[in-house]
Chain A
């Protein structure tokens, strides 16, 4: 017993030492701030986007949406138990996918446009073939022991999931089996995003940490702290060198991967609502963040200032997305509507 206690004490001491070492190394490169560096950059002025379309069709709260790679189709998920695939140019509903479980929390479009996936409180990620005559269940990925909070396709044969069981998982869609399980978070994983180069992904969790993972090795490469509550939303800056997070602590943060630390915070004393979702414009200059206050606020990434707002929803904005061609923003809400802005 005494020998074990001694070993644990030694390990604890080593942990503390390593944490101190990491903080010192971060401090050593912390020679400036993002806002200082952006002092010479022109402001973007007031960003005033117009509401172009309101998509009506869901009968209950919308929890998730995801753009197709063609920047025209989009899939949304509602706790009315349906996925709807929309043609955003015409506003028409193309396909309705009835769900086995209405408690959906996440939805994803495969890059090919052939498949969509969804999941939620059923702990299962279900993949559907939407190119068949009527939507057909291709796979039910059932191994998580907690809710499915987020899913993203790498291709028609691989999908990444994040779960309330604190793990993320890479699945093989040909076999329906788990390929790699990513464990390190100590709180429910709420959101994930793939890097532009496809080699890594980031996750945000209820332990208030964001983690960068090597997709093929399965290892956690970096951990980012600073938030004081659950991280609900996470996205890569388009260059792949930074990560933006949104949290229940009412702030967003940008962490630079190469400096291994937070470089800007986006918060405002007048904003007392949690961040539910976020998306970046194509140059990375604008952050569109959905909040519990029914609005989507727009931030200047470089200057850390609020530069606009998308107002119109009658309830919490639960999901936000910018298509690949960067031509607009879609917001989805608990008011059951999706809105397109540009």
Chain B
């Protein structure tokens, strides 16, 4: 096991950690509020939340009425 390849690997790990350590972080309370707001603002456009009528349901065959 070459010593210098260990050093190269370690240096890469250090470089990656430096990158990750350097980012700006937003408060969880703010992040959570934004996620919540997105859900609530888009709720009406979410068919799985609001439900849909048979005539709008693409997976349900429309009942056909015929005059006898």
The chain A residues found within 8 Å of chain B, CB to CB, are 1, 4-5, 7-8, 11-12, 14-15, 18-19, 21-22, 25-26, 28-34, 36-38, 41, 44, 47, 49, 52-53, 71-72, 88-89, 184, 219-223, 237-239, 241-242, 256, 258-261, 263, 281-286, 301-302, 322, 325-329, 340, 342
Instruction: Give the distance in Å from the alpha carbon of A285 to the alpha carbon of B45 in the complex.
Output: 11
Could you write out 30 A-B pairs with CB less than 8 Å apart?
A: A1-B3, A5-B3, A8-B7, A15-B10, A15-B13, A15-B14, A18-B14, A22-B21, A25-B21, A26-B25, A28-B25, A31-B27, A31-B28, A37-B29, A41-B40, A89-B59, A220-B20, A221-B20, A238-B38, A241-B34, A241-B35, A263-B32, A281-B48, A283-B39, A302-B39, A326-B47, A327-B48, A327-B58, A342-B48, A342-B52
Collect the chain B residues with CB atoms within 8 Å of residue A220's CB.
16, 19-20
- Contact, CB under 8 Å: B47 / A342: yes
**Count, chain B residues at interface, CB 8 A:** 43
Question: Which listed residue (B17, B34, B47) contacts A282, Cβ 8 A?
Answer: B47
Complex: how many Å from CA A26 to CA B26? 9
On whether the beta carbons of B48 and A242 are closer than 8 Å, the reply is no
Residues of chain A lying within 8 A (CB to CB) of residue B55: none
B31 touches A38 (CB 8 A): no
B28 touches A283 (CB 8 A): no
In the complex with contacts A11-B11, A327-B58, A184-B20 CB distance below 8 A:
no
Residues of the B chain whose Cβ atoms lie less than 8 Å from the Cβ of A49? 48
Contacts of A8 in B (CB 8 A): 3, 6-7, 10
Question: What are the residues of chain A within 8 A of B17 when measuring CB–CB?
Answer: 15, 18-19, 22
A37 touches B32 (CB 8 A): yes
- B residues bordering A, Cβ < 8 Å? 3-4, 6-7, 10-11, 13-14, 16-21, 23, 25-36, 38-43, 45-49, 52, 57-60
Given the known inter-chain contacts A4-B3, A34-B35, A281-B48, please indicate yes or no for A89 contacting B58, CB distance below 8 A: yes
Q: Give me 4 other A-B pairs in contact (C-beta within 8 A), A5-B3, A33-B32, A282-B46 excluded.
A: A8-B7, A47-B48, A301-B39, A328-B59
Q: Which residues of B contact A223 (CB under 8 A)?
A: 20
Contacting pair B42 A29 (CB below 8 A): no
Interface of B: prevailing SS:
helix
A221–B39 CA distance with the chains assembled, in angstroms = 26
Q: Specify which chain A residues have a CB less than 8 angstroms from the CB of B30 in the assembled complex.
A: 258-259
A-B contact count (CB 8 A): 180
Residue of A nearest to B45 (CB): A282
Q: A53-B59, A282-B42, A326-B48 are contacts. A256–B32 as well, Cβ < 8 Å?
A: yes
User: How close is A90's CB to chain B, nearest CB, in angstroms?
Assistant: 9
Picked from A258, A284, A325, the residue with its CB within 8 Å of the CB of B38 is A284
Q: By the criterion CB–CB under 8 Å, are A29 and B14 in contact?
A: no
Is there contact, CB below 8 Å, between A32 and B23? no
The reply to whether A222 and B23 form a contact with Cβ atoms under 8 Å apart is yes
| CB closest chain-A residue, reference B41 | A283
- Residues in B with CB closer than 8 Å to A25 are 21, 25
Given contacts A52-B57, A88-B58, A302-B36, contact A259 B20 (CB under 8 A): no
Residues of B within 8 A of A241 (CB): 31, 34-35, 38
Give which listed residue, A4, A11, A261, A284, contacts B4 with CB less than 8 A.
Answer: A4
